[in-house]
Structure 1
Amino acid sequence: MTNLTEVKLSERAQHLLKTLVQYYIREGQPVGSTTLLRESKLELSSATVRNVIADLERLGLVRSPHTSAGRIPTVEGYRLFIDNLLTVQPMDQQEVERIKIRLNPDADTKILVESASNMLSALTRMAGVVMLPDRKQSHIRHMEFLPLSDRRVLAIMVFDKGEVQNRILHTDRNYSQQELIHISNCLNGELVGKDLLRVRESLLNQMKEARESMDRIMLNAIEMAQQVFEQDEAPVHDFVLAGEANLMKYEDMADIARLRQLFEAFNEKRGILQLLDQTIHAPGVQIFVGSESGYEALDDCSVVTATYSDGDRVLGALGVIGPTRMAYDRVIPIVDVTAKLLGTILKERS
């Protein structure tokens, strides 16, 4: 957090900086001293305002773009504004209800996450991003196996968040429906209610016991389960992105080379996931302005994020990606409320 005492800003300078940032966010134009004086509604001379602007520039809080004598906020200026000068009003209940209606509690987890991402994008006119819940923290509710042709078996897993996953397993022989029912019963008795990390530990222990007792049905069940969960070793985190084309409409993000770099980052995913992973370990809304993300592709962007949880566990993070010149007072409550509503829905499924 940028501390006002560290930069020694007077109340007058704070007010002028806040006015400058708010005007620039609203109008998108560099702010000159005449405009700033008018917008601030302070009884000051133009010379005094120019002196304050010069002080703000010396402190690295504003800068002058090449094409204008006016000033715009720097990353440090935005940070000081967000941490100390921004006023965020809670969202009124009618708006909360409108968001709630757009999140269908009966939808599959992936569809629910897609709805949240689309909604974040639609409400902010920016890009909405929602991390899918961490599967390693998901608990198995039910497993079932169905016979297919050519020594194949369809494995069906139902998780506690309503997510359903299918796997096709290749086996060393054909299995009858009755055999697969026995295998399903064995695994459901042992694995239901456990998360994926505990499932793998349990399978290793049971494999040893089954071999010692020569329990053929249990051995078959464990071998099938291991094949199912081996396919789950891929990275467990992924995200759903919506509305990235919205970013092309912002004049301050119109540089084609930077846009290409940003869209490549969206497709490559790793950097965005690393940023979202950072937010999982800190509660509440977090805001990364420009280079604060540590990811070059986002240097012209701000990212507003919040974690969502089922009450006991953080399941993922969601947020909005847009220009640094975003209406933070509007975006922050939208992100915060969406995260809380999504967490509530997933908690009710547990």
Structure 2
Amino acid sequence: MVSERSLEVLRVIVQDYVASREPVGSKSIVERHAFGVSAATIRNDMAALEEEELIAAPHTSSGRVPTDKGYRLFVDHLAEARPLTPAQRTAIEAFLGQSVDLDDVLSRTVRLLSQLTNQVALVQYPSVQRSRIRHVELVQLAPRRLLSVLITDSGAVEQRVIELAGELTDEEIAEVRGAVNGAVAGLSLVDAAARLRLLPGALTERTRTIVEPVASALLDQIAANRQEKLMMAGAANLVRTETDFPGTITPVLEAIEEQVVLLRLFDEMAHEQHTVAVSIGRENPVMGLAETSVMSSGYSAAGSDVARVGLLGPLRMDYSGNMAAVRAVARYLSRLLGD
């Protein structure tokens, strides 16, 4: 066990190391912080922290830096809540409020979060296990070409261009649109897919020849919606902090290219909405991410399960500020997409 003062020493070591990237010594702690004790006393506190493997010396006769265990204790018990400024909150609402569809919302989300934190920002597309089809629109692009637009109640929009064997009149397009919407509107994606496979057989021969390519395209669109996907921004921020990674940053860059790896990591983190889960260093089981920290919070969209939005960056990051940014963005996403 370490004393309350030793824990406060750990807190300032984390904060000073994050700010300066330099190992923190007892002399600088005494000079920068009002502990009211001598440097020798602070050295004793640091020795206790080192014995508990909460800090370590990267070099002989150097100051100390936090370990994975030290960062974990800091995040769980010592990090000070730091809400976003009114200007930052206004910027989030103004920027995300201009979005035109789900893809635009998520693209703006990762760009904004990356700019706020200088980390890699990640957002998981809403799960569509409970999504339902709101509407299917068919738009004629050319005499033998249609654009099929699938819209779900979670805000997802999926488009496909359909090449037809013959030309269609406006009346025939309207007939097909009515038949398709009558069959699938309001159904879950799973039920809609089953209905589409049976739909052509229930129509007249002429209508069937038109509906078959449309139904085939819609099945592809439904399959695309059911795939789990991530959107990412800010990978260049990793390169700017390359000195925080021992050896080479290449394994980290390779790991974040694998969406399935990051999705699995998100799934393994806590799922409580409105809380921020943090996975630190060797807690990340994925090869290449042992020198990173990953944080995420849940958000929800209409008709979907909880999805995750978060950050990935080096161990030496501003945990308090980044957690506040992730929490605020996740809550705003839930309000925006839940309407």
Name the SS for the 2:297 alignment partner.
Answer: strand
**Farther off after superposition, 309-318 or 59-68:** 309-318
Partner residue of 2:131?
138
Task: Name the amino acid aligned to 2:138.
Answer: F
CA contact (8 A) 2:255 2:288 kept: yes
Equivalent residue for 2:301, pick from 307, 310, 320: 310
Partner residue of 2:253?
263
User: d(CA) in 1 for partners of 2:165 and 2:306?
Assistant: 37
RMSD across aligned positions (CA) = 2.9
Partner residue of 2:176?
183
**Farther off after superposition, 29-38 or 78-87:** 29-38
Partner residue of 1:225?
215
After superposition, the C-alpha distances for 1:275-310 in whole angstroms (9 at most, x for unaligned) are 223347332211111122222222222122111113
Task: Name the amino acid aligned to 1:328.
Answer: Y
CA contact (8 A) 1:191 1:199 kept: yes
Name the SS for the 1:82 alignment partner.
Answer: helix
TM-score by length of 2: 0.86
Q: Does 1:69 align with 2:99?
A: no
Q: Any residues of structure 2 matched to 1:186-335 within 5 Å, and which?
A: 186-203=179-196, 206-207=198-199, 211=201, 216=205, 217=207, 221=211, 224-234=214-224, 236-250=227-241, 252-253=243-244, 255=246, 258-279=248-269, 281-283=271-273, 284-310=275-301, 313-335=304-326
Give the length in aligned residue pairs: 336
**Farther off after superposition, 322-331 or 226-235:** 226-235
Q: Which residues of structure 2 form unaligned runs of 5+?
A: none
Q: Which residues of structure 1 form unaligned runs of 5+?
A: 1-7
Partner residue of 1:20?
13
Name the SS for the 2:96 alignment partner.
Answer: coil
Task: Name the amino acid aligned to 1:72.
Answer: V
Deviation at 1:251, TM superposition (A): 5.3
TM-score by length of 1: 0.84
Name the SS for the 2:307 alignment partner.
Answer: strand
Name the SS for the 2:248 alignment partner.
Answer: helix
Partner residue of 2:102?
109
Q: 1:71 to 1:128 in 2, by over 3 A?
A: same
Identity of aligned residues (%): 29
Q: 1:63 to 1:320 in 2, by over 3 A?
A: same
Deviation at 1:254, TM superposition (A): 5.1
User: d(CA) in 2 for partners of 1:244 and 1:170?
Assistant: 38
